[in-house]
Structure 1
Amino acid sequence: MSDAGYDHATVERRWQAAWDDADVYRTPDDVDEPTYVLGMYPYPSGKLHMGHVRNYTITDAYARYRRMRGDDVLHPMGWDAFGLPAENAAKDRDTNPRDWTFDCIETMRDQMDAMGFGYDWEREVTTCTPEYYRWNQWLFSRFHDEGLVERRDADVNWCPECETVLADEQVEGEAELCWRCDTPVEQRELEQWFLKITEYADELLEAIDDLEGWPNSVRQMQRNWIGRQYGTELEFAVEGHGSVRAFTTRVDTIFGATFFALAPDHPISEKLAEEDDEIRRFVEHEADPDGDEPNGVATGLTATNPVTGDEIPVYVADFVLSDVGTGALMAVPGHDERDHAFATKHDLDIVPVIAPEPGDWDGETIPDAPDVSEEAFTDDGVLVNSEEYSGLDSETARERLTEDVESAEHAAQYQLRDWGISRQRYWGTPIPVVHCDDCGPVVVPEEELPVELPAFINTTGNPLDAAEEWKRTSCPECGATATRETDTMDTFVDSSWYFLRYVSPALEEAPFDVDRANDWMPVDQYVGGIEHAVMHLLYSRFFTKVLADHEGLEHREPFTNLLAQGMVQLEGEKMSKSKGNVVSPQRIVEEYGADTARLFMMQAAQPERDFDWSEEGVRSTYAFLGRLKELVDDFVRDEPAGENDAVAAYVDAEIDATIDIATAEYDDLTFNTALRETQDLVRTLRQYADYAEPHAETFERGLWAVVRLLSPVAPHVAEELADALGYDGFVVDADWPEAKIDRDAVEKRRKLVENTREDVRQIVDVAGIDDPQDIDVVVAPEWKYDALEIAIESDADNLIGELMQESHIREQGDAAASYGQDLQAEREALSMTLGPGEEHAALESAAWLIEREFDAPVSVVRADEVDESVLKNAEPGRPAIEIED
């Protein structure tokens, strides 16, 4: 800092160099109090945006805070470096993805350093290096050994623009657009590699309840995505094709089943398509599972309802999906909207078999069947038109029918599908498989890993298909000529375990050191965007559970606490290049400094809330840091020698209160509240310095508290101020300030002082007093505090009668009766205040604030020093105010 003002550039460069020279952010391997703080690593796009800055300021501030509290903190950073954007950028610039990616990484790392983020760069991981992705391949092999990898033909999501397969989670919105380029996604049948995440569906779902440190919204999104439904499987005999199992959640409606439907790729449908041109045309060209209306074609076959024995027509219908349930279903138009639309279109029977339950239903009389000709009735109710089951409620009927029907059994189905990891792109981890004509697909042995990417070929389609020399290899099993797999892995494989690599990033024998991982894991605090609530977080949970089962990891969940940070907006809209409303972090750092950007962001809103970027707010934050610098400079220069009086006592109490409250807020990551408290303390110190010559010890204690409370968010200026105050060492290594106080008493004292100041303002304003001469603040008599306590603790109907049982209250006569009536009227809202002695001391220590505001002497008067006419207005927590004009 310079005498001319807050020279942020010099300050920040100086302390960043000092941190580097001292290697202050190095994290040892063996620790006693491990705390793992992690922000979701970024894709190296070349420049930090404000979302990055907010995310990493949150984690950096919390990591610094935990370190000052005495924890050994792991706070690493790395790069989600594979992916299609780098490949596209390389094509556009006639370069290769590797060079482009590492140029971007270098730029972003420099920007992170400029922001003052305290990373241990020796733990940096970059997923596009062979040193990292060999372990993706090793994990693929381990998953394969455990039966969790499968290769099969499947209908997949294909993006024609990106020319690659997408996982279900990467198809967004009702319009089903590619998550990368917003191109409408098509369906194709391809042979793909899958990780069998469905093997863990039940545990992934049930363990969500234990993720108490996660936002409820994220937990619910994961529940919805897994989408477990309980129901019944039972067999329908299809003419000429034997028994076909169907899944339904509403077996209570089986008496209303009027047709049977098969998925277009059901084995029966495919066989029929070979024999019938109309069915083949529908299956191959017309079926549209994503269409607005359900479509289908009649097969001419019938299926036998296993309960009624009725023969119902069989259709091939595009709203039936082969990977949902069994690919076959009984259709009940009267009680399913989709079935109703199909039946209406094909002129099929619509039979009501569930009636709404009347409000006065006696449990025996069967209600009238509803009219379902225009609209299906989809709620549970009472069975009608259902033979001996009529009159049963839906839930009872479901249980009874599942027990009674010979082929029926309880079953569950899931929306979750196995994770297709095959991507037809170059810039990803090569899938470690070779294809041999004799042996089939063979996993590459561990000693031959990594299978490295060949040189980039700028071509359409999958560049690996064009790498002819790279593709030619030999079979690891028989030695015959073989071909390498040309698909690469979905980049979400990289991020499903990267947090484990940070604990031992240089390890050459395994993806991570199990003992160290068991010491550090799970991540104590994870921070990232809500857009990763399903894909990344679900896959990471899956990987962690597999590694716990097969690799000795002791923890089955990767992240204890999760914070999904809100967006940084400009004028109510998300910042984006397309909208031209991007604010450059680099410009803000150059004009105002990294500490200003960090402090403004953290004080603007709670971390999980969206907030609007404000240039005015940035300037105001910069000015605050300048004023704080002046306050420290003045103290160091002037060496004050004020008395340790009531004013100093008030300031001391506010220092303790600020420390206590800010600490609790840092614990909860509510940085905005912690920073507001700290800034209020700075304001109090300035007022103190303006009012009187400060007591040096008190004032220095307050400044030193401010420096440490600000240091997690504004680390550079904190180091500068600590240095000016004579601190020998780095603030990042300093102990967090402590305050041993009663939080409840603090809140009561603050409320008392603020209410009293507000009452004085109101009296001065209402009475039109321009120049107050004297202000008396009169504390209530002790008996009123006793009465208040009785009123709070009592549950007697006659409160006044109970009060009058106390002789010292009864002796007050009409005053006691009047106060008792007031307490009775406010009974539900009453709360304890400070005692009379504590209240007097608190007001006396804060009197200077009133004197300073109104330029008039203030006397805090005890009850026994004034007459009764004044005392009648004095109540606990609300002293009487007398102002002489």
Structure 2
Amino acid sequence: MSRRYDHARVAEYWQHVWEREGVYETPDDVANPTYVLGMFPYTSGSLHMGHIRNYAITDAHARYRRMAGDDVLHPMGWDAFGLPAENAAYERDTDPESWTRACIERMRDDLEEMGFGYDWAREITTCDPEYYRWNQWLFTRFLDNDLVEYDSATVNWCPDCETVLADAQVETDDYEGAHAHAAGGVCWRCGTPVERRDLDQWFFTITDYADELYDGLDELEGWPEGVRDSQRNWIGRQAGARVAFDVGEHGAVSAFTTRLDTVYGATYLALAPGHDLVSDLAETDADVAAYLEAVASTDDAGLSGVETAVTATHPFTGEEIPVYVAAYVLDDVGTGAVMGVPGHNDRDHAFADEHDLPVEQVVEPVDGSPTNLPDDPYTEDGMLTDSGEYDGLASTAARDRLLDHEAVEEATTYRLRDWLIPRQRYWGTPIPIVHCPECGPVPVPDADLPVELPEYVQTTGNPLDAAEEWKHVDCPDCGADAERETDTMDTFVDSSWYFLRFLSPHFEDAPFEQETADEWLPVDVYVGGEEHAVLHLLYLRFFTRALADLGLLDRREPVERLINQGTVLHSGKKMSKSAGNAVAPHEYGAETTRLFVLSAAHPAQDFEWTVKDVSTAYDFQQDCYELVSEFADQRSRRRRSQAARAVRTESEPHDAYLEREIDRTIAAVTEEYDRFRFHRVVGELQRFVRLLRRYAEYEPPYLFAYSRGLRVLTTLLAPIAPYLAEELWHLLEEDGLVAEADWPESLRDVADHRIERGLVRTTLADVRDITDVVDIADPEAIEVVVAADWKYEAYRLAQAADPDDAIVGEIMGTESIQRRGDAAAEYAADLADRSTGLAPIVDGDRELEVLQQAAWLFEDEFGADVTVRRATEDDDLADKARPNKPAIHIS
């Protein structure tokens, strides 16, 4: 029998067996539903390492939970619409659908070769009319329930992609300010500077859910805090007040502020370039008109601004203050107007410094300490000064009192804007609207859905607008000549509810079967990149709430636990084809690759791809295979009465160590699987393999313990290296498939397994240190002495005591300890000094038992006779022994 594991030789066979046995098919009737989902891939043409890491995580968890007895749903599908496919088809002189279908075939083959266990019967593809029909159906339901608006709006336009972009698809250096027209905004797809255009557009009214989406983040305890913070920042809820400034014949301008206590320090009023008043002023003010033109043609307007010909009346002082148009004020944040308070706001101070505007202090530190005004603003709360009747009030109290003024209104603002969904591109879901000159926009009736895409024709601009035969239709309401909506939906609509379609992919009466959805939701584990915090995950949460309000779901949050996988790096940079540092997933073998990406680091951390570390993953597989194949070979030899290594059927004392270490390994590995720390799973299994090898070579192994150890190794390995585990299971002649085997259980109480392991490791390390320091090359005997019982009693008392109590007195007040005299007093004082850092321990009897069971490890390593005993009354080593820190004597 070959002792080398050949993944390529066995992979195809086990794929066939898994498929034949329906291992990954989700049962119809479920008792313990567990929904494990990886963010489905965009059909880019081939798998990359980011895919492999994502799907290795979900696959390992799904396999683990299936073996643990859960009914697991682990599906896969394709995010198949989108501009990149359209561009790729254009470059290759083909059509987007042909290109996309070819990519899907390649990627499906790649996933199967990697051994990922999906329920392929539930596969969905968003460019299938059977899928996007329900995008259109949901659009009309949203429209019927006032969740869709059609309005003229100033929108983001990418001139390279020739389409509008939602706010979340405009990238800026300053994430918190990444809205619409923010300076430096570029297209998320191509990096082209974004322009602003006025167009009639369709919006999903996600702002209706702003408060619920914001407040709900506090309950998502299974989500990374970074994702929750990103969504909080994007929603941008701010509680504050609107202050009305009178601008003469132009009426009142409302400025939003969160620092109403600084209102007396307002020395100017600043308006966003897109503010309605600015448009009016530009008609008669040449300077304002010229400034608007200049701002529109630059990507970085910075602290630029222009003073207008009008002034505003300060509502508290009655003074006239200048009105500026300023690029730093955003028209879609707050009210698009800012009361400039240079003394107490960083941005206002920078603008005032640039335009030589006055800086006034109206808040000072409560303790009277000096500030650095006017050179730097004082932005903390404090006590009001130079604020009329409000002088002397603390900032908090002043904000409450100032709300009573007639020019002030309590208000809450949001950065979040409604979701702009149309795209002026071909490869997407047609928006199911017919524009009638008589009736206006009319939704396509359900009976006429799906509105399918016409045949693709290469053209510049919007291809659907050029599809004349497809575009011209009769109005569904009045029958007059009308035109279809020629925009398609943002592809994030596809991914906002796809997790629901997986639950009933062939259901024909609705997008999903509600009873099934309510049974399976929320998704138990969802894995994907943190870059989707807003673009995808916020929309996912919005859709779930909207569907619940439509009576289609009971759940309002879609995902219970979110795992963000880190990035695979190569030569310090993110691995990618464009960077020229990509490694093909199959270059080192599918199973070696997936084992490495799981063992390299915690799922959330980035890690560096190195050949050395990949080789370690490969060698580990070979070690496992060699261990089991050797056992199987020896078993076959014994059956044939040939020379073979002997085994024992009667146990000896040292076998207890292996039996207990098997149970400890089960407990430790199970804990790490539950915590998604697959790198620690691999570390545990590597140590376990070394132990099994050492045990088998120490003397003939005890068959019951050793064979159980190999079975446990195989089952614990199965979620992360499924091909290898199936091959090992077969060599062990176990029934069925390891993929369907029960998760192993400990036969003994190993609640203290980490303490017990630490005890053995530190004691071994202490022996090594002594032999090194004293330079004992070949010790004859090692004596390990476990502390007396009274020291454990004293230790427990110190652990339980309040650090502020008289710990020495409490310990010495115990009669059994007190009679130990000076030795007890000295030990009690030592415990009191360390009272806040006392680690958990096992009791003396357990310590003795663990070390006696492990004595063979000392004998094997040092070639010496080993004695493990308890300290006695007149023992020279008794003073040195401490709980879980035995005394050691080497001769």
TM-score, normalization by structure 1: 0.94
Residue 855 to residue 152, structure 1, CA distance change in 2 (3 Å):
same
Supply the distance in 2 between the matched residues of 1:818 and 1:310 (Cα, whole angstroms): 78
Task: Name the counterpart of 1:558.
Answer: 558
Residue 243 to residue 872, structure 1, CA distance change in 2 (3 Å):
closer
Supply the distance in 1 between the matched residues of 2:829 and 2:314 (Cα, whole angstroms): 75
Q: Provide Cα deviations, 1:353-386, integer angstroms capped at 9, x if missing partner.
A: 423214258xxxxxx9x67554443333322222
Task: Name the counterpart of 1:763.
Answer: 770
Task: Name the counterpart of 1:539.
Answer: 539
Letter in 2 for 1:641: V
Identical columns (%): 55
Supply the distance in 1 between the matched residues of 2:816 and 2:514 (Cα, whole angstroms): 71
Q: Would the aligned equivalents of 1:289 and 1:319 in 2 still touch at CA under 8 Å?
A: no
Q: Would the aligned equivalents of 1:259 and 1:332 in 2 still touch at CA under 8 Å?
A: yes
Taking the TM superposition and a 5 Å limit, the aligned residue runs for 1:172-191 are: 172-174=171-173, 175-191=184-200
Q: How far is 1:502 from its partner?
A: 0.3
Supply the distance in 1 between the matched residues of 2:725 and 2:555 (Cα, whole angstroms): 38
Q: How far is 1:41 from its partner?
A: 0.3
2:686 pairs with one of 679, 683, 705: 679
SS in structure 2 of the partner of residue 600 of structure 1: helix
Where do 5+ consecutive residues of structure 1 fail to align?
A: 362-367
Residue 196 to residue 724, structure 1, CA distance change in 2 (3 Å):
same
Matched, 1:708 2:715: yes
Q: How far is 1:45 from its partner?
A: 0.9
Letter in 2 for 1:88: N
Task: Name the counterpart of 2:78.
Answer: 79
Supply the distance in 2 between the matched residues of 1:555 and 1:157 (Cα, whole angstroms): 33
Task: Name the counterpart of 2:224.
Answer: 215
Supply the distance in 2 between the matched residues of 1:754 and 1:89 (Cα, whole angstroms): 58
Task: Name the counterpart of 2:102.
Answer: 103
Q: Provide Cα deviations, 1:165-222, integer angstroms capped at 9, x if missing partner.
A: 1111111232322211122222222222111111100000000000000011111111
Residue 388 to residue 458, structure 1, CA distance change in 2 (3 Å):
same
Q: Provide Cα deviations, 1:678-710, integer angstroms capped at 9, x if missing partner.
A: 221111111100101111111111111111111
Residue 208 to residue 288, structure 1, CA distance change in 2 (3 Å):
farther
SS in structure 2 of the partner of residue 59 of structure 1: helix
Q: Would the aligned equivalents of 1:541 and 1:556 in 2 still touch at CA under 8 Å?
A: yes
Task: Name the counterpart of 1:195.
Answer: 204
Q: How far is 1:578 from its partner?
A: 2.4
Letter in 1 for 2:161: C
Q: Provide Cα deviations, 1:407-433, integer angstroms capped at 9, x if missing partner.
A: 422101111111111111111111111
TM-score, normalization by structure 2: 0.93
Q: Would the aligned equivalents of 1:789 and 1:832 in 2 still touch at CA under 8 Å?
A: no
Matched, 1:57 2:56: yes
Deviates more, 1:818-827 or 1:181-190: 818-827
Letter in 1 for 2:618: Y
Residue 327 to residue 630, structure 1, CA distance change in 2 (3 Å):
closer
Taking the TM superposition and a 5 Å limit, the aligned residue runs for 1:435-834 are: 435-589=435-589, 594-639=590-635, 640-642=646-648, 643-739=650-746, 741-794=748-801, 803-831=811-839, 833-834=841-842
Q: How far is 1:794 from its partner?
A: 4.6
Where do 5+ consecutive residues of structure 2 fail to align?
A: 174-183, 636-645
Deviates more, 1:127-136 or 1:296-305: 296-305
SS in structure 2 of the partner of residue 868 of structure 1: coil
Letter in 2 for 1:756: T
SS in structure 2 of the partner of residue 535 of structure 1: coil
Task: Name the counterpart of 1:851.
Answer: 859
Supply the distance in 2 between the matched residues of 1:585 and 1:783 (Cα, whole angstroms): 59
Q: Would the aligned equivalents of 2:663 and 2:750 in 1 still touch at CA under 8 Å?
A: no
Supply the distance in 1 between the matched residues of 2:813 and 2:343 (Cα, whole angstroms): 72
Residue 809 to residue 407, structure 1, CA distance change in 2 (3 Å):
closer
Q: How far is 1:630 from its partner?
A: 1.7
Q: Provide Cα deviations, 1:4-25, integer angstroms capped at 9, x if missing partner.
A: 5111111111101111122221
Residue 872 to residue 398, structure 1, CA distance change in 2 (3 Å):
closer
Supply the distance in 2 between the matched residues of 1:371 and 1:698 (Cα, whole angstroms): 75
**Residues paired across the two proteins, number:** 869
Task: Name the counterpart of 2:391.
Answer: 390
Task: Name the counterpart of 1:870.
Answer: 877
Task: Name the counterpart of 1:365.
Answer: none
Supply the distance in 1 between the matched residues of 2:564 and 2:441 (Cα, whole angstroms): 41
Q: Provide Cα deviations, 1:211-236, integer angstroms capped at 9, x if missing partner.
A: 00001111111101111111112333
Q: How far is 1:860 from its partner?
A: 1.8
Q: How far is 1:93 from its partner?
A: 0.4
SS in structure 2 of the partner of residue 871 of structure 1: coil
Q: How far is 1:725 from its partner?
A: 1.1
Letter in 1 for 2:234: W
Supply the distance in 2 between the matched residues of 1:321 and 1:787 (Cα, whole angstroms): 67
Q: Provide Cα deviations, 1:591-630, integer angstroms capped at 9, x if missing partner.
A: xxx2222222211111111111121222222222122112
Supply the distance in 2 between the matched residues of 1:875 and 1:295 (Cα, whole angstroms): 72
Cα-Cα RMSD: 2.2
Q: How far is 1:244 from its partner?
A: 3.2
Q: How far is 1:74 from its partner?
A: 0.6
Letter in 1 for 2:56: T
Task: Name the counterpart of 2:40.
Answer: 41
Supply the distance in 2 between the matched residues of 1:731 and 1:243 (Cα, whole angstroms): 74
Q: Provide Cα deviations, 1:15-54, integer angstroms capped at 9, x if missing partner.
A: 0111112222111333121110000000011111111001
Q: Would the aligned equivalents of 1:434 and 1:441 in 2 still touch at CA under 8 Å?
A: yes
Supply the distance in 2 between the matched residues of 1:111 and 1:325 (Cα, whole angstroms): 49
Deviates more, 1:870-879 or 1:47-56: 870-879
Letter in 2 for 1:575: M
Taking the TM superposition and a 5 Å limit, the aligned residue runs for 1:360-399 are: 372-399=373-400
Residue 236 to residue 787, structure 1, CA distance change in 2 (3 Å):
closer
Letter in 1 for 2:758: K
Task: Name the counterpart of 2:117.
Answer: 118
SS in structure 2 of the partner of residue 861 of structure 1: strand
Task: Name the counterpart of 1:364.
Answer: none
Residue 883 to residue 83, structure 1, CA distance change in 2 (3 Å):
same
Residue 85 to residue 770, structure 1, CA distance change in 2 (3 Å):
same
SS in structure 1 of the partner of residue 269 of structure 2: strand
Matched, 1:322 2:331: yes
Q: Provide Cα deviations, 1:30-86, integer angstroms capped at 9, x if missing partner.
A: 312111000000001111111100100100000011111111111000011111110
Supply the distance in 2 between the matched residues of 1:815 and 1:379 (Cα, whole angstroms): 57
Supply the distance in 1 between the matched residues of 2:337 and 2:808 (Cα, whole angstroms): 75
Q: Would the aligned equivalents of 1:685 and 1:702 in 2 still touch at CA under 8 Å?
A: yes
Supply the distance in 2 between the matched residues of 1:293 and 1:814 (Cα, whole angstroms): 75
Taking the TM superposition and a 5 Å limit, the aligned residue runs for 1:424-443 are: 424-443=424-443
SS in structure 1 of the partner of residue 793 of structure 2: helix
Q: Would the aligned equivalents of 2:193 and 2:299 in 1 still touch at CA under 8 Å?
A: no
Letter in 2 for 1:635: F
Supply the distance in 1 between the matched residues of 2:580 and 2:332 (Cα, whole angstroms): 43
Q: How far is 1:833 from its partner?
A: 3.1
Letter in 1 for 2:400: E
Letter in 2 for 1:675: V
Task: Name the counterpart of 1:411.
Answer: 411
Letter in 1 for 2:397: T
Letter in 1 for 2:34: T
Supply the distance in 2 between the matched residues of 1:53 and 1:724 (Cα, whole angstroms): 28
